[in-house]
């Protein structure tokens, strides 16, 4: 049996010296706990790890999505997804209203991300022709959206 001072291990709770006898295992566990705590404190001090280097507070929680979404957030996400899908359908319908050449060139330019010069070289035409075709196709799509009253 060893005698320990509770003030040493539980300072906020025991502000005066309070001695008790504990078994050897408990004394060793308390000593081990004290050493681990001191090691952690020293490690934080040595590495100057007082601050989180994350760009904003709570980024750790966002990474693993610990926070449960509220019903309002779930509903908003569903509405956004429905709006996105509707917009894709509208775009597809508007693309179908274009000529084959306009649709092919707009698809290559905006979906595949090709430059106008690349499209011109592939099709064997000048860049100005491709540019004019894309411009007129976009104008036609804009008019189609306005006619269907999809554009606000």
Work out whether strand 2-5 and strand 19-22 pair parallel, antiparallel, or are unpaired: antiparallel
Residue that wins the pLDDT comparison between 75 and 10? 75
Categorize the per-residue pLDDT at 124 as very low, low, confident or very high, splitting at 50, 70 and 90: very high
The arithmetic mean of pLDDT across residues 127-145, rounded, is: 93
The domain in which residue 102 lies consists of: 71-148
Within a domain: residue 56? no
Among 1-15, 44-58, 71-85, 109-123, the range scoring the smallest mean pLDDT is: 44-58
pLDDT at 58: 58
Both 82 and 143 in a single domain? yes
Which 3-state string (H, E, C) describes the chain? CEEEEHHHHCCCCCCCCCEEEECHHHHHHHHHHHHHHHHHHHHHHHCCCCCCCCCCCCHHHHHHCCCCCCHHHHHHHHHHHHHHHHHHHHHHHHHHCCCHHHHHHHHHHHHCCCCHHHHHHHHCCCHHHHHHHHHHHHHHHHHHHHHHCCCC
Both 100 and 140 in a single domain? yes
pLDDT at 45: 82
Both 93 and 40 in a single domain? no
Q: Distance between terminal CA atoms of the chain? A: 82
- Segment 65-117, tens digit of pLDDT: 556 778 888 899 999 999 999 988 998 999 999 999 999 999 999 989 999 99
């Amino acid at each position: 049996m060893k005698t320990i001072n509770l003030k040493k291990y539980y300072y906020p709770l025991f502000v005066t010296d309070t001695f008790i006898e504990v078994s050897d295992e408990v004394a060793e566990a308390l000593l081990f706990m004290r050493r681990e705590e001191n090691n952690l404190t020293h490690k934080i001090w040595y590495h100057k790890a007082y601050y989180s280097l994350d760009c904003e507070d709570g980024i750790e929680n966002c990474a693993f999505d610990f926070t449960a979404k509220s019903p309002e957030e779930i509903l908003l996400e569903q509405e956004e997804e429905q709006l996105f899908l509707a917009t894709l359908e509208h775009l597809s319908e508007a693309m179908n209203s274009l000529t084959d050449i306009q649709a092919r060139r707009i698809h290559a330019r905006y979906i595949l991300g090709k430059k106008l010069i690349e499209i011109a070289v592939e099709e064997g035409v000048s860049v100005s022709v491709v540019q004019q075709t894309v411009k007129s196709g976009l104008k036609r799509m804009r008019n189609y959206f306005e006619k269907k009253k999809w554009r606000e």
